[in-house]
Amino acid sequence: MDRVIIFDTTLRDGEQAAGGSLNIQEKLEIARQLEKLGVDVIEAGFPVTSPGDFEAVRLIAKEVRTPVICVLTHANLDAIDRSWESVKGAKRPRIHIVLSSSDIHLFYQLKKSREEILEMSCKTVAHARKYCNDVEFSAMDASRTDPEYIYQILQAVIDAGATTVNIPDTVGYAMPDEFGNLVEGAFKKVPNIGKATVSIHCHNDLGMAVANSLEAIKRGARQVEGTINGIGERAGNASLEEIVMAIKTRQNFFNLTTGIDTRQIYKTSRLVSELTGFPVQPNKAIVGANAFRHSSGLHIDGVIKAAQTFEIMDPKTVGVPSSSLVLGKTSGRHAFQERLAELGYSLSDEDFNRSFTAFKELADKKQDVTDKDIESLVAEGKRTVSEIYHLDRIQVTCGDRGIPTAAVRLIGPDNQALADAALGTGPVDAVYEAINRLVGVPNVLTEFSVKSVTEGIDAIGEVLIRIESEGVTYTGRGADTDIIVASAKAYMNALNRLLSAKKAG
């Protein structure tokens, strides 16, 4: 069977989703998990956009050695030079050049002719080949471009040295059959197409990203680009886990394979959701909370008798934990460690001790600690690492007859204790006012949401917030059985990310 190359752009196109910014260490953590997942290519970033992105690409190129490490760059010689500096330490580097091809982009955005675009395409590809034997070229907005012009560009850039040519549905405009025809036409009308890998990159504006990607693969494309959980610009990118599991589940239809370890999908999805702050909808295919749950009596009866009656995939093949084991306050270190392993976590001694302490504290507050609780504890532990300010204590007074008041104590730089109190329109507002007086970083709260991690009155509450400072959005998350404390943790998480970004910049 032919093998489809899986190109992950979570760290580049995925991060471009509004409010989805990641710091350097978070990008490295995701890149390491993508390596475990078995993706062939990691698009690590767009290094010319910021010093932080440059440094993140450089670090990933140095630390992650199995996949190809790719960087996106404008069709500009200086940008290519700069991009190469960030990725040259990779074991298998790739330079990815993008340039618009549609008349809409050429007329309104670039103010250039087709001839000028063709010349720029060839010139920049040839320049990139001086640095790197692996060069990809993307004809942006290909789905709204005259097909004959696309084929002309592909032929020219392959002659100039491109080893992968990408046909993107940049704005999610195409329908499956239409997009499939465009891809199939490249094999029929581009004489040298056999010298390059044909790739596709689809967006989800009309909900067609996965369908278009699969149709293109069926028509001969052998690299597919997408993101974990389908995150990305506007309505997002093609969801890689859906594409991979479609190929695996319907292998009799596609007669194709990938190098993905599908048992790592669930963990990768949860990690990306946690670090980007984008929750996975319950009915999301493959990784949603309801993807393998049944409520209809007819369905439940069928699954009990034979799982394949209503489940076309075994949950274990995507890494969904199968055990229903519930831990409690009598559970010891070994039981907790075993459950972490079953959930796919491999923690350092320091991280394990931190999580186990949090587990024991939680077990004193609620009778049963579920898998979702444990996942939340591990995530909360990661959020407290490398904090500039740490939430130490919080006390709140509120009610329908009183003025909401909050007293907060933080541990700041140099282990200095800082305390203050404030009034607010409600308990959360009072907490945030007190924190703002201590930290002193101007920002605007743009989003605040609360959800329950598990069922029951004693469930952990998780708060997600977004704040904006100087035009940049920062996400924060916090979890606790006390929702006011969870709100304070989320705010501290967002502020620490803001401060870290300013320090790095």
Same domain as 136, residue 118 = yes
What does the alpha-carbon distance between residue 154 and residue 161 come to, in Å, rounded to a whole number?
Answer: 11
477: pLDDT strictly greater than 80:
yes
pLDDT score for 8:
98
CB count, 10 Å around CB of 251?
A: 12
Q: Write the burial class of residue 302 (CB in 10 Å: 0-12 exposed, 13-18 middle, 19+ buried).
A: middle
Are 127 and 15 within one domain?
yes
Phi-psi region of 412 (alpha: psi -120 to 50; beta: other; left: phi over 0): beta
Mean pLDDT of 144-151: 98
Query: Does the pLDDT value for residue 268 go beyond 90?
Result: yes
CATH of the domain at 121: 3.20.20.70
State the pLDDT at residue 74. 95
Residue 297: pLDDT above 70? no
Q: Residue 440 belongs to what domain range?
A: 390-504
192 with 315, same domain? no
Q: Smallest Cα–Cα separation from 29: which of 5, 48, 52, 10?
A: 10
Domain count, the chain: 4
- What pLDDT does residue 294 have? 61
CATH number at residue 438: 3.30.160.270
* 348 and 308 within one domain: no
Q: Is the pLDDT of residue 347 over 90?
A: no
Kindly report, residue by residue over 200-227, the tens digit of the pLDDT. Answer: 999 999 999 999 999 999 999 999 999 9
Q: What is the residue-averaged pLDDT of the chain?
A: 91
In the predicted structure, residue 299 carries a pLDDT above the cut 80: no
Whether 345 and 394 map to the same domain: the answer is no
My answer on whether 55 and 170 are in the same domain is yes
Judge whether 283 lies within some domain.
no
* Residue 29 domain flag: yes
pLDDT, position 459:
83
> Are residue 208 and residue 240 in the same domain, yes or no?
yes
- Give all strands (DSSP E) within 51-106, no chain letters: 68-74, 93-100
If asked whether residues 332 and 397 sit together in one domain, one would say no
35 plus 142 within the same structural domain? yes
Residue 321 has a pLDDT of 74
Lowest mean pLDDT among 49-53, 91-95, 173-177: 49-53
Position 486 scores a pLDDT of: 94
Q: What percent of the chain has pLDDT over 70?
A: 96
Residues 270 and 298 grouped into a single domain? no
The answer to whether residues 325 and 313 belong to one domain is no
In a domain, 16, yes or no: yes
pLDDT reported for residue 343? 78
Q: Minimum mean pLDDT among 233-247, 320-334, 356-370: which range?
A: 320-334
Lowest mean pLDDT among 62-76, 126-140, 251-265, 438-452: 438-452
Does any domain span residue 282? no
Domain boundary among the residues 383, 405, 426 is at 383
Q: Are residues 314 and 325 in the same domain?
A: no
Question: Which one has a higher pLDDT value, 69 or 367?
Answer: 69
Q: Is residue 68 part of a domain?
A: yes
pLDDT band at 253 (very low <50, low <70, confident <90, very high): very high
Give the separation between CA 460 and CA 332, rounded to whole angstroms.
21
